Amino acid sequence: MELWLWAVVGGLAGTVLMDLTAIAAEKLNITSGGRCGGPQVIGRWVFGIFDARLVHENIIDSSPVRNEASAGWIFHYLTGGGLALTYPLFYLALNRPMPQDHLIPSVVWGLATTLLPWLILYPGYGWGLFGLRAPRNASPLIATPVAHMLYGLGLGITLNITI
């Protein structure tokens, strides 16, 4: 039980690290696109799902939805904490022991989670696979893997300290 709890905490820590890095990267003009409109873009997409609108033509042009920024932040952190559970689940499913040092495996795992926005979120925004049609000020092919590696790093550091 302890491992699962610390995995969630690590996922939340990784999400914070991801967000802080995204803010710093944005100052260097490197953005995944989530900052193109902020967390409200994620919230707008989530609310769209409840209206059976899985894909937008361009989410930036879609009508704003009440409380979309709050929903975006909540969804982002619920995803970050919940997705971290798949890291220990991966070892359990393969019947492999957890590594003693989580840094490299968790960074690699974090990098693998880049597929989620590339294949689900960006197409849902109307930006195509890998965000290739994202707004001009977005660099999802660069910023997304960097952010997700740092997400994995936050998870790995947390698990190394606590487990």
pTM: 0.90
Number of domains in the chain: 1
Residue 37 has pLDDT above 70, yes or no: no
Residue 100 has pLDDT above 60, yes or no: yes
Structural domain range at position 74 = 2-162
* 156 touches 88 (CB < 8 A): no
Contacts of 153 (CB under 8 A, 6+ apart): 14, 17, 103, 106, 107, 110
% the chain with pLDDT above 90: 77
What band does 36 get if pLDDT is binned at 50, 70 and 90? low
Burial class of residue 39, CB neighbours in 10 A (0-12, 13-18, 19+): buried
Q: How far apart are CA 142 and CA 39, in angstroms?
A: 19
Residue 26 has pLDDT above 90, yes or no: no
* Per-residue pLDDT reduced to its tens digit, 76-95: 999 999 999 999 999 999 99
* Per-residue pLDDT reduced to its tens digit, 106-143: 999 999 999 999 999 999 999 999 999 998 878 888 88
Note the pLDDT of residue 31: 66
Q: How far apart are CA 148 and CA 140, in angstroms?
A: 11
Note the pLDDT of residue 32: 62
